[in-house]
Amino acid sequence: MYKKVPRMTKTMRVFHWINVFSVLTAVITGLYIANPYYQALIAEPAAHKYVMAYNRFFHFIAALLLDIVSVAVAYLYFRSTFDKPIKKLIPNRENLIEFKEVLLNLLTLNRRKNFDSSHSDSFNVVWFTILHLLLVWMLFTGFYLYVQGLESGLSSIGKWWPALLHIVTDWVGWLLGGQAGVRWWHHFSMWIILSWVVFHIYYQVWRTIFWKEGDIAIVFGGYKFKKVK
Amino acid sequence: MDFFRRDYLREMFTKPTNLIDTNKGEEYYRNLYRKAKERLDWLKFQKPVRENDLKFEEYISNWDISRRDFFKWVSMMTATLMLPPSFEPLVAEAAEVMNRIPVIWINIQDCDGNTEALIRSSAPTVDELILDYLSIEYQETLMAAAGDQAEKCLEDAVNKYKGQYLLFVEGSIPVKMEYAFTTGRHPETGVQRVRRLAKDAKAVIAVGACASFGGVPAAYPNPTGAVGVMDVVNGVPVVNIPACPANPVNIVGVIMHYILTGNLPELDSLKRPKFAFGYRIHDNCERRAHFDAGEFVEEWGDEGAKNNFCLYKMGCKGPFTFNNCSIVRYNDGTNWPIGVGRGCIGCSEPDFWDKYATERPLAASNIRPPALKGVESTVDKVGLTILTATAIGIGIHAISSAIAGKKESLNKEE
């Protein structure tokens, strides 16, 4: 007998897939911006084809979606009526034990399972938080690079926007050694995020296979199933 | 529905996106004009530093510069300084009273390239004339005096114009190996020399990448510990005019601005005048359309190169570099790096030799920025290594899980 456990609301799932497509888009376009890896073999004058411009456009749109979703997710960490992830981040006894148990479950290849797997566990929440911190890092380094192109101090939405970006991101340049350094970190952090993604997908699939609770369905249908004795 | 009306569409698609705030309002320019006028009148009343020298008109005729050429230069200079056309008469007057300002020009660790850039033009230019007309009291490369006489010139100038002269510094200053640069019969290290002369200067103007940020002598591993002027001088305003060499237009522009207003121009966070370093090369590049179109030169001399495609993939660092080369160009507007078909190497940015001077984009460059302690191209290598390590870890875990799972089910069956 299995019980249906709701794990992700519709909003959470929409956010998840926006994140997926934004990260993918940002990586594909970002690699092109860093070092254009395909040629624009279109027999048109330069004025009519906009290959680099569209790559940059979609890169910024992806970044924008990620940033907006991150703000919403940060809010939901604290104020969600469904499940507040922040509760699992507080390093109290209960959470530390759960974190250790989930980690041991993974390391012992599911030989040991001393925690309640029906709700979002502390280990996974920590893992998600790492991604959100990485995204914040990308936001700062990315906007630092972006505002270099708005050096005139004007933008289509007013002077306040570049001014705000300068106030918020100028310290990044100081910290990482100017545009070259910031670009390096922005690029390198992409690889860290990709590694994060690889483990994330692996772990969810692994759970589905070994826990036999249909974990992979969470992100599509919003439910998983828990055996009731 | 008026959505497709021409006016509406035009308004929608013509947003100001890449304009610098050059118009500071009528009120501002009226005040500035009045102030500049007063200052020029006062300067005219002053005696030239060297009264026996030629007058400005005589210079112009001696150098075979036509009245038309001079006014062309005046218009160009006014525009460079981002002033309205009404300032043109003042700029012309300012050129005339330039000999009231004493200048001392010293060279530390450098190749004299900035001086060369100023004097090695195909025909006498107004910039060059200005340099000649300026009362340069001391300039090691150009002065007739040598040895003790030269040293005496310097001492006299410093004593006579205490607190009035502009000090131009060319070249980086070694601080780790101070003795790497010493001059004169009464040896003095670079640091001592710059500090001593800067103490009595009205302002210090660092000319070229070396004097601004250390430049080539400061490239990894920087054996002499070379730094820019702003790192050794305190208590005196410093203006950086980087680039390798500094554009004569920008050098003269800073002097012009000082003569006109008595102040130094507005500076950015790296102490570079905003009128010259407000835009990136990229923002006004003649090949920008090819960048946006994704049309890149793939190797030297290919079809793209013949068609003036964007040089980004050949390592152009225009998107990182703030300078006005793309507008004023070099050698009296003859040409500039992108114009001759090679990329920008970011020579007006700090640490350009280590960070920017390659013929590939930063993401594919095999260079070692000292601040990061890592080869640029290894970003991808290290990243891929982490990714591979993750994948291998996962593989091991997956295989062992599978084996363990099999055993478990076998146990169960038993």
The amino acid present at B214, given as its one-letter code, is: G
Inter-chain touch B394–A49, beta carbons under 8 Å:
no
- C-alpha to C-alpha distances, B205 to A128, B77, B97, B113, B365, nearest whole angstrom: 52, 19, 20, 16, 33
Nearest CA in chain B to A188: B379
For B43, the token pair is 């300067």
CA B201 to chain centroid: 22
Greater pLDDT, B227 or A153 = B227
Considering only CB atoms, which chain B residues are within 8 Å of A190?
Answer: 383
Confidence (pLDDT) at B18 = 36
Confidence (pLDDT) at A41 = 67
Residue B413 lies in a domain: yes
Evaluated on CA atoms B264, B269, B272, B278, the torsion sign reads: negative
Sole residue written with tokens 């006016």: B7
- Residues 40-69, chain A, touching B (beta carbon < 8 A): 40, 46-53, 55
ipTM for the predicted complex: 0.78
For B377, the token pair is 């191209």
Q: Which helix (H) or strand (E) holds B238?
A: strand B238-241
CA distance A7 to A9: 7
Q: Within this chain, do residues B266 and B336 fall inside the same structural domain, yes or no?
A: no
For an interface test with A, give the residue of B352, B372, B377 to mutate (most A CBs within 10 A).
B372
Sequence-distant (≥ 6) Cβ neighbours of residue A60 within 8 angstroms: A146
Question: How close B284 gets to chain A, by Cα (Å)?
Answer: 11
Considering only CB atoms, which chain A residues are within 8 Å of B397?
Answer: 106, 109, 202, 206
What's the whole-number mean pLDDT along residues B294-308? 90
Inter-chain touch B21–A153, beta carbons under 8 Å:
yes
Residue B18 lies in a domain: no
Domain that holds residue A54: 2-227
Q: Within this chain, do residues B194 and B53 fall inside the same structural domain, yes or no?
A: yes
Which of A50, A177, A194 faces B387 most closely, judged by CB atoms? A194
Considering only CB atoms, which chain A residues are within 8 Å of B388?
Answer: none
pLDDT band at B19 (very low <50, low <70, confident <90, very high): very low
Q: Is A188 on the interface with B (CB under 8 A)?
A: yes
Greater pLDDT, B15 or B55 = B55
Confidence (pLDDT) at A156 = 78
Q: Within this chain, do residues B272 and B359 fall inside the same structural domain, yes or no?
A: no
What's the whole-number mean pLDDT along residues B123-147? 79
Query: Is residue B271's pLDDT more than 90?
Result: no
Question: How close B412 gets to chain A, by Cα (Å)?
Answer: 14
Q: Within this chain, do residues B186 and B316 fall inside the same structural domain, yes or no?
A: no
Q: Within this chain, do residues B323 and B246 fall inside the same structural domain, yes or no?
A: no
Sole residue written with tokens 């005196």: B236
The residue among B257, B276, B295 that closes a domain is: B276
CA distance B406 to B398: 12
Lowest mean pLDDT among A157-166, B13-22, B182-191, B238-247: B13-22
Query: Is residue B373's pLDDT more than 60?
Result: no
Q: Within this chain, do residues B170 and B125 fall inside the same structural domain, yes or no?
A: yes
CA distance A106 to A95: 17
Sole residue written with tokens 């990620």: A66
For an interface test with B, give the residue of A38, A113, A179, A196 to mutate (most B CBs within 10 A).
A179
CA distance B158 to B200: 7
Residue B13 lies in a domain: no
Query: Is residue B62's pLDDT more than 50?
Result: yes
Q: Is A201 on the interface with B (CB under 8 A)?
A: no
Domain that holds residue B339: 281-364
Task: For chain B, give the mean pLDDT.
Answer: 83
For an interface test with A, give the residue of B394, B409, B412 to mutate (most A CBs within 10 A).
B394
Considering only CB atoms, which chain B residues are within 8 Å of A192?
Answer: 383, 386
- Which domain CATH number covers A90? 1.20.950.20
Q: Which helix (H) or strand (E) holds A16?
A: helix A10-34
Instruction: Specify the pTM.
Output: 0.79
Question: Long-range contact list for A56-62, CB < 8 A, 24+ apart?
Answer: A56/A29, A58/A25, A58/A29, A59/A25, A59/A26, A59/A29, A59/A30, A59/A33, A60/A146, A61/A25, A62/A21, A62/A22, A62/A23, A62/A25, A62/A26, A62/A29
- Which domain CATH number covers B324? 4.10.480.10
Question: How close B49 gets to chain A, by Cα (Å)?
Answer: 39
Sole residue written with tokens 């090369």: B281
What's the whole-number mean pLDDT along residues B10-25? 54
CB hemisphere CA count around B95 (13 angstroms): 25
Confidence (pLDDT) at B2 = 64
Confidence (pLDDT) at B7 = 63
Task: For chain A, give the mean pLDDT.
Answer: 88
Greater pLDDT, B217 or B55 = B217
Residue B11 lies in a domain: no
Taking CA A75 as the corner, what is the angle to CA A202 and CA A65, rounded to the nearest 5 degrees?
Answer: 65
CA distance B171 to B227: 9
CA distance B296 to A38: 10
Inter-chain touch A109–B18, beta carbons under 8 Å:
no
Model pLDDT for residues B152-164, shown as the tens digit of each residue: 888 998 999 998 8
- Which domain CATH number covers B111? 3.40.50.700
Considering only CB atoms, which chain A residues are within 8 Å of B380?
Answer: 191
Counting the structural domains of chain A, the total is 1
The residue among B242, B276, B310 that closes a domain is: B276
DSSP B102-150: EEEEEE-BS-SHHHHHHH--SS--HHHHHHHHSEEEEETTT-S--HHHH
For B358, the token pair is 């390659």
The amino acid present at B412, given as its one-letter code, is: K
CA distance B268 to B38: 27
Give the percent of chain A with pLDDT over 90. 45
| Angle between helix A160-176 and helix A178-211 axes, rounded to 10 deg | 90
CA distance A2 to A225: 6
CB hemisphere CA count around B5 (13 angstroms): 6
Instruction: Burial-class residue B120 by CB neighbours within 10 Å (0-12, 13-18, 19+).
Output: exposed
The amino acid present at B362, given as its one-letter code, is: L
Inter-chain touch A192–B383, beta carbons under 8 Å:
yes
What's the whole-number mean pLDDT along residues A173-190? 88
pLDDT band at B360 (very low <50, low <70, confident <90, very high): confident
Confidence (pLDDT) at B317 = 92
For B180, the token pair is 């790497």
Q: Is A36 on the interface with B (CB under 8 A)?
A: yes
What's the whole-number mean pLDDT along residues A96-120? 89
Query: Is residue B239's pLDDT more than 90?
Result: yes
Inter-chain touch A152–B394, beta carbons under 8 Å:
no
Counting the structural domains of chain B, the total is 3
Confidence (pLDDT) at B4 = 67
Instruction: Burial-class residue B17 by CB neighbours within 10 Å (0-12, 13-18, 19+).
Output: exposed
Considering only CB atoms, which chain A residues are within 8 Å of B292?
Answer: 46, 50-53
Model pLDDT for residues B378-393, shown as the tens digit of each residue: 566 777 787 888 888 8
Q: Within this chain, do residues B50 and B148 fall inside the same structural domain, yes or no?
A: yes
Question: How close A82 gets to chain B, by Cα (Å)?
Answer: 32
Q: Within this chain, do residues B267 and B297 fall inside the same structural domain, yes or no?
A: no
- C-alpha to C-alpha distances, B348 to B47, B159, B232, nearest whole angstrom: 37, 34, 19
Query: Is residue B121's pLDDT more than 70?
Result: no
Lowest mean pLDDT among A13-17, A69-73, B120-124: B120-124
Identify any residues that bridge with B335 across adjacent strands, giving them in sequence order.
B330
Residue B147 lies in a domain: yes
Q: Within this chain, do residues B386 and B321 fall inside the same structural domain, yes or no?
A: no
CA distance B310 to B291: 5
3-state secondary structure (DSSP) of residue B4:
coil
Nearest CA in chain B to A170: B269
Nearest 10 degrees: Cα torsion B83, B87, B88, B91: -90
Q: Within this chain, do residues B58 and B119 fall inside the same structural domain, yes or no?
A: yes
Inter-chain touch A184–B384, beta carbons under 8 Å:
no
CA distance B135 to B139: 10
Query: Is residue A25's pLDDT more than 90?
Result: yes
Q: Which helix (H) or strand (E) holds A97?
A: helix A93-107
CA distance A214 to A224: 5
Q: Within this chain, do residues B185 and B243 fall inside the same structural domain, yes or no?
A: yes
- With beta carbons less than 8 A apart as the criterion, state whether B250 and B276 touch: yes
Query: Is residue A223's pLDDT more than 70?
Result: yes
Confidence (pLDDT) at B378 = 59
Query: Is residue B376's pLDDT more than 80?
Result: no
Q: Within this chain, do residues B226 and B112 fall inside the same structural domain, yes or no?
A: yes
Give the percent of chain B with pLDDT over 90. 29
Q: Which helix (H) or strand (E) holds B188?
A: strand B188-189
CA distance A171 to A141: 10
Residue B14 lies in a domain: no
pLDDT band at A170 (very low <50, low <70, confident <90, very high): confident
- With beta carbons less than 8 A apart as the criterion, state whether B328 and A156 touch: no
Nearest CA in chain B to A203: B394
| Highest mean pLDDT: which range of B44-53, B93-102, B303-312, B353-362 | B303-312
What's the whole-number mean pLDDT along residues B127-149? 81
The amino acid present at B302, given as its one-letter code, is: D
